[in-house]
């Protein structure tokens, strides 16, 4: 009886722990293990090389390019998504049918699969027959190369990511805005606060936990961008859109340099890990005001 | 200091008329309390004065200025909200001086003002804390300080004490009365608690369903209610009323038709001698509440259940009692609830001797 009572909680959580260990914990450790070997996925023997993979990675020109691409992509995507979403949320915060419709419309990309989105945008961005070039042609501008030119490809991918993410972000912001009680605005108006002052001195600080949450979530997501790149650009042209996860995929499953890919995976793990720790640290100390 | 006038004010929310036609003058320097049941339009009235809500029709005057189109910040009105509405991301100091900053008051002047005010309301040690680190009473003080520091013409307070416990509420009530004395500013105060209204206001406005029932001094309201609603709203326990149909043994001569009769629990006498001239009702004591100095009895009679309140009298132990209400303490109301005063003569019904010689 008492033994059963003691064991029962462990029994209850065991399935979850098992699944979690099998599919999350074990692969992480296996990846760290693999990152110290030279292995081509099929050969029965793995050659231990220590930290050689990391040394190679960090000295390789391509890998630095990949890190730069990923960083630029992340910074642009995060600032644009969060910023646009905040503006949209401020506008959509008044509730009427029209605003409800717009909100639904901008949210819908969030629930469409990334593969469909990628195909759709490849088509829209086609330099010859794409809708986008047709539209900017109407306004009188020359054609853009979009995904086909190194100077515009990465930014084009950012556009797609922003388009997909902005609705969800706006929704979270709207929830944040609606948690601000109406009498705060009223008190501010009695205090002769101008709209801009109300926004910068009251609303933004009260939204800071939301902003922070979204920035971190978006950063983690952007660092792991893969599907759009795999479908739309395959990292090209001339590596201009090669990012960390796509690089890992290419090395692992196209060039079968498993150890090398694992080493890049460990680096990604470290970056995302740091972001997560920063998030929880700051969340518990500074930004939260309640 | 300012006089406030509401002229023919009405307020509709969509098709809902919340306030049909309201006329009210709030005297300069008065402590005016709006009181009434929940949903009767007190907050709405107040918010129209502050400019947070636009009236559907009518004019609002503050002093000699029609403020219909004046935005809230320029009406020289400060408001204390029920939930305080403090700025959660600012310190106490930030909260208090926000309005001053927006007016462009210089930093040195701001500091003096904030220091002075925080001394008055006892917040000096907490200036650098955030509102959520304060107790309810302290937050209430911050809200007050934030309103006071702007030196407004009018103070508007919407149920500012309803979130406080009974003891603190009593204490803050006294402090508010003193504050009003010291500042001499016009206070408009909303509450649905008639005890609070009676103890604080020098003018009380009783509202029901958007209509002013009576606007008078507390004593006048208590002793001379103009209608059944006011009579039943003011006083604890409420005035006892009964339909005239159920009244036995009372002979009333009146000009109008009397629909109901009322008396205050504290003006009825238990088991009084025959020397008291009054209406007598026999009844049975259902419950006894003793609060020390006063006792409240619930008495069941043929005309309904009544409350009787006695002071410093020994607890009545008998089950059956005789309740006597002196004739001069009877209130009469017409069919529409209006008070009937003129030409009423009451006396005991003369028993006609039947079959006598
Ligand atoms: N923004 C609004 N939209 C629609 N109806 C409203 C709105 N604000 C108030 N009302 C209605 O107006 C009436 C009066 O509301 P008000 O807030 O003035 O009542 P109150 O007297 O302050 O009550 P309480 O004592 O509960 O605070 C209520 O019936 C309420 O439903
Ligand atoms: Mg109210």
Domain of B270 in residue numbering reads as 238-348
B42 CA to centre of ligand 1 in angstroms = 8
Judge if B275 and B206 occupy the same domain. no
Q: How far is it, in rounded angstroms, from Cα A57 to Cα A69?
A: 15
Q: Going by CA atoms, what residue is nearest to atom 25 of ligand 1?
A: B38
Contact at 8 Å (CB) between B218 and B27? no
Q: How far is it, in rounded angstroms, from Cα B281 to Cα B303?
A: 9
B229, B252, B282 - which closes a domain: B229
Asked whether residue B354 is domain-assigned, the answer is no
Q: Which ligand is nearest to the CA of B54?
A: 1
Asked whether residue B303 is domain-assigned, the answer is yes
Asked whether residue B353 is domain-assigned, the answer is no
Q: Is A105 helix (H, G, I), strand (E, B) or coil?
A: helix
Q: A194, B102: Cβ pair inside 8 Å?
A: yes
Q: How far is it, in rounded angstroms, from Cα A99 to Cα A21?
A: 45
Decide: residue B18, CB within 10 A, 0-12 exposed, 13-18 middle, 19+ buried.
Answer: middle
Secondary element (H or E) of residue B270: strand B269-270
Judge if B109 and B185 occupy the same domain. yes
Q: What is the DSSP letter of B181?
A: H
Q: Is residue B44 within 6 Å of ligand 1 at its C-beta?
A: yes
The half-sphere exposure of B251 on its side-chain side, counting CA atoms within 13 A, is: 7
Q: A183, B83: Cβ pair inside 8 Å?
A: yes
Angle between helices B136-148 and B166-183 (to 10 degrees): 20
Judge if B273 and B139 occupy the same domain. no
Cβ neighbour number for residue B267 with a 10 Å cutoff? 17
CATH of the domain at B197: 3.40.50.300
User: What domains can be seen in chain A, in order of their start residue?
Assistant: 51-286 (1.10.3720.10)
From B308, B303, B251, select the one nearest B281 (Cα to Cα). Answer: B303
Q: pLDDT tens-digit profile of A1-45?
A: 688 888 999 999 999 999 999 999 999 999 999 998 888 878 888
Judge if B163 and B298 occupy the same domain. no
Judge if B263 and B224 occupy the same domain. no
Q: Going by CA atoms, what residue is nearest to atom 1 of ligand 1?
A: B13
Q: pLDDT tens-digit profile of B213-267?
A: 999 999 999 999 999 999 999 988 899 999 888 888 788 877 778 899 999 999 9
Determine the average pLDDT of the residues in A118-133: 88
Residue whose structure tokens are 């292995």: A39
Contact at 8 Å (CB) between B174 and B18? no
Kindly provide the ipTM of the predicted complex, given to two decimals: 0.81
Give the residue, B171 or A189, on which the prediction is more confident.
A189
Q: Which two tokens stand for residue B253?
A: 């001569």
Judge if B193 and B67 occupy the same domain. yes
> Number of structural domains, chain B?
2
Q: Which residues are paired to B34 by β-bridges? A: B190, B205
Q: In the A/B pair of chains, how many CB contacts fall below 8 A?
A: 65
Q: Which two tokens stand for residue B53?
A: 């809500």
Sign of CA dihedral A106, A111, A114, A117: negative
Asked whether residue B344 is domain-assigned, the answer is yes
**pTM for the whole structure:** 0.80
Q: Is B28 helix (H, G, I), strand (E, B) or coil?
A: coil
Q: pLDDT tens-digit profile of B143-193?
A: 989 998 988 999 999 998 888 888 888 888 898 999 899 888 999 999 988
Judge if B212 and B305 occupy the same domain. no
Judge if B108 and B147 occupy the same domain. yes
Tell me which residues of chain B have a pLDDT lower than 50: 352-357
Q: Would you say residue A286 has pLDDT above 90? A: no
Res A133: pLDDT:
83
Give the residue, B49 or A53, on which the prediction is more confident.
B49
Q: Is A62 helix (H, G, I), strand (E, B) or coil?
A: helix
Closest Cβ opposite residue A192 in set B81, B86, B102: B102
Judge if B51 and B172 occupy the same domain. yes
Ligand 1: atom nearest CA of B36 is 21
Residue from B13, B157, B213 whose mutation best tests the ligand 1 pocket (most atoms within 8 A of CB): B13
Q: Count the residues in chain B.
A: 357
Q: How far is it, in rounded angstroms, from Cα B239 to Cα B201?
A: 21
Closest Cβ opposite residue A205 in set B50, B81, B89: B89
Asked whether residue B96 is domain-assigned, the answer is yes
Residues from chain A contacting residue B85 (CB–CB below 8 Å) = 181, 183-184, 186-187
Residues from chain B contacting residue A186 (CB–CB below 8 Å) = 52, 72, 79, 81, 85
Res B351: pLDDT:
52
Closest Cβ opposite residue B73 in set A190, A202, A289: A190
Judge if B97 and B224 occupy the same domain. yes
Q: Which residues are paired to A149 by β-bridges? A: none
């Amino acid at each position: 009886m008492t033994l059963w009572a003691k064991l029962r909680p462990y029994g209850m959580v065991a399935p979850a722990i098992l699944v979690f260990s099998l599919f999350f914990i074990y692969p992480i450790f296996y990846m760290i293990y693999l990152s110290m070997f030279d292995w081509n996925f099929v050969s029965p023997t793995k050659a231990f090389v220590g930290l050689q993979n990391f040394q190679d990675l960090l000295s390789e020109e391509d890998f630095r390019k990949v890190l730069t691409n990923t960083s630029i992509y992340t910074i642009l995507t995060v600032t644009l998504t969060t910023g646009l979403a905040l503006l949209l949320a401020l506008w959509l915060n008044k509730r009427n049918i029209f605003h409800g419709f717009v909100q639904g419309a901008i949210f819908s990309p969030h629930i469409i699969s990334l593969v469909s989105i990628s195909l759709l945008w490849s088509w829209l961005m086609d330099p010859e027959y794409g809708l986008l070039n047709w539209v900017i042609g109407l306004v009188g501008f020359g054609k853009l190369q979009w995904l086909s030119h190194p100077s515009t490809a990465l930014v084009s991918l950012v556009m797609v990511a922003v388009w997909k993410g902005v609705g969800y972000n706006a929704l979270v912001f709207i929830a944040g805005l609606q948690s601000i009680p109406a009498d705060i605005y009223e008190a501010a108006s009695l205090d002769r606060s101008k709209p801009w002052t109300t926004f910068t001195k009251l609303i933004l600080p009260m939204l800071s936990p939301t902003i922070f949450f979204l920035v971190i979530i978006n950063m983690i997501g952007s660092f792991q961008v893969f599907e759009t790149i795999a479908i739309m650009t395959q990292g090209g042209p001339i590596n201009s859109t090669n990012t960390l996860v796509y690089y890992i995929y290419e090395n692992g499953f196209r060039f079968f340099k498993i150890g090398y890919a694992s080493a890049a995976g460990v680096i990604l793990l470290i970056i995302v890990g740091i972001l997560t720790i920063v998030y929880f640290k700051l969340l518990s100390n500074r930004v939260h005001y309640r | 200091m300012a006089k406030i006038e509401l002229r023919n004010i009405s307020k509709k929310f969509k098709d809902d008329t919340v306030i049909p036609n309201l006329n009210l003058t709030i005297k300069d320097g008065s402590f005016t309390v709006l009181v009434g049941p929940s949903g009767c339009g007190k907050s709405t009235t107040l918010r129209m004065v502050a400019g947070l809500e636009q009236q559907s029709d009518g004019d609002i005057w503050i002093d000699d200025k029609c403020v219909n189109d004046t935005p809230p910040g320029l009406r020289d009105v400060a408001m204390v909200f029920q939930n305080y509405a403090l700025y959660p991301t600012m310190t106490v100091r930030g909260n208090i001086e926000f309005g001053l900053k927006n007016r462009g008051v210089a930093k040195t002047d701001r500091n003096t003002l904030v220091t002075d005010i925080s001394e008055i309301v006892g917040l000096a040690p907490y200036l650098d804390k955030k509102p959520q680190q304060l107790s309810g009473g302290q937050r209430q003080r911050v809200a007050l300080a934030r309103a006071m520091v702007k030196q407004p013409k009018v103070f508007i307070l919407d149920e500012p004490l309803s979130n406080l416990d009974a003891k603190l509420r009593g204490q803050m009530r006294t402090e508010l009365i003193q504050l009003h004395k010291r500042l001499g500013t016009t206070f408009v105060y909303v509450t649905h608690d008639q005890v609070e209204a009676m103890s604080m206001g020098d003018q009380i406005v009783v509202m029901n369903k958007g209509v002013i029932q009576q606007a008078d001094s507390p004593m006048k309201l208590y002793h001379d209610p103009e209608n059944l609603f006011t009579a039943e709203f003011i006083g604890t326990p409420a005035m006892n009323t009964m339909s005239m149909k159920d009244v036995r043994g009372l002979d009333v001569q009146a000009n109008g038709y009397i629909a109901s009769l009322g008396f205050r629990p504290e003006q009825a006498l238990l088991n009084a001698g025959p020397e008291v001239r009054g209406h007598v009702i026999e009844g049975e004591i259902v419950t006894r509440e003793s609060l020390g100095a006063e006792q409240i009895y619930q008495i069941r009679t043929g005309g309904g259940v009544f409350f009787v309140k006695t002071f410093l009298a020994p607890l009545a132990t008998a089950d059956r009692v005789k309740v006597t209400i002196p004739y001069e303490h009877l209130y009469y109301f017409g069919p529409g609830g209006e008070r009937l005063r003129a030409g009423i003569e009451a006396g005991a019904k003369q028993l006609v001797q039947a079959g006598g010689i």
